[in-house]
Amino acid sequence: MTKLSVNINKIATLRNARGGDIPSVTQTAVDIQNFGANGITVHPRPDERHITKKDVYDLKPLIFTEFNIEGNPHRPFMDMVLEVKPQQVTLVPDADDALTSNAGWDCKTHLYFLKNIISEFKNTGIRTSIFLEPNPEMLKYAAETGTDRIELYTESYAKNYKKNKEQALKPYYETAFEAEKFGLGINAGHDLNLENLKYFAGNIPNLLEVSIGHALISEALYLGLENTIQAYLKRLAI
């Protein structure tokens, strides 16, 4: 079964809107795990507009499933990850002022940059994943970086799902199929939700993990957090 990692950035966004500690990022992470999710994802950014560096350190001893830290591998981010030692780090080529993740890596252009960074993480036993757009031709270079996994950037799938879900899925299937040839594990995330997840998860080979935040937290406003997590897990139980 594909694992569900819940991105809790939006919990931190809501907390930061008023200051203080309501809602609690740490308690929410504990609850999410108790409700059945398989992991917690955070994506701290330099301006700390949602998840802060302190949050990352506070969360570490509370994660009893899997801790996944996403971010652009600037030196301060790398040093934090190397100290916290999560189970997984996901490298995303975000601009510092990006509203949200909006592109995958060009592994051919950034091959040696990624290679050096990934070797640092792997030397300390941290599994690495790199954020990629669906492009089978990029897999050769992704494999050369030494990464363990790729995370498929699923915005275009989600955007085109209602128009033609078969066509929307096609480049992701082709990329996942190629990734298997190179021995790369497959994660996915961005704009996956209760409506489009089941079709994606049921048709992507070797899909190990999905990371979902904005949609899941938004849906939880109506359904409740526990019910929403259970609904996602049912869609992943292919």
Q: pLDDT of 136-158, one tens digit each?
A: 999 999 999 999 999 999 999 99
Q: What is the pLDDT of residue 43?
A: 96
% of the chain surpassing 90 pLDDT: 94
What mean pLDDT is predicted for residues 47-51? 94
Q: Which residues are CB-contacts of 1 (< 8 A; sequence separation ≥ 6)?
A: 236, 237, 238
Q: What is the pLDDT of residue 58?
A: 98
* Predicted confidence band of residue 53 (pLDDT cuts 50, 70, 90): very high
- The catalytic residue positions are 43, 70, 190
For residues 5 and 19, which has the higher predicted lDDT (pLDDT)? Answer: 5
Q: What is the pLDDT of residue 104?
A: 87
Q: What is the pLDDT of residue 98?
A: 52
- In whole angstroms, what is the distance from residue 102 CA to residue 60 CA? 27
Q: Is the pLDDT of residue 95 over 70?
A: no
What mean pLDDT is predicted for residues 153-181? 97
List, for residues 107-122, the tens digit of each pLDDT value: 999 999 999 999 999 9
% of the chain surpassing 70 pLDDT: 97
For residues 225 and 96, which has the higher predicted lDDT (pLDDT)? Answer: 225
Q: How many CB atoms lie within 10 A of CB 207?
A: 22
What mean pLDDT is predicted for residues 1-27? 96
Q: Is the pLDDT of residue 194 over 80?
A: yes
* Predicted confidence band of residue 165 (pLDDT cuts 50, 70, 90): very high
* Predicted confidence band of residue 94 (pLDDT cuts 50, 70, 90): confident
Q: What is the pLDDT of residue 120?
A: 97
- In whole angstroms, what is the distance from residue 20 CA to residue 23 CA? 9
Q: What is the pLDDT of residue 100?
A: 55
Q: What is the pLDDT of residue 103?
A: 73
Q: Is the pLDDT of residue 170 over 60?
A: yes
- In whole angstroms, what is the distance from residue 98 CA to residue 211 CA? 19
CATH classification of 3-236 is 3.20.20.70, yes or no? yes
For the chain, give the mean pLDDT: 95
Helix residue spans in the chain (DSSP H)? 9-18, 25-34, 53-59, 75-84, 111-123, 139-145, 155-160, 165-181, 197-203, 214-223, 225-236
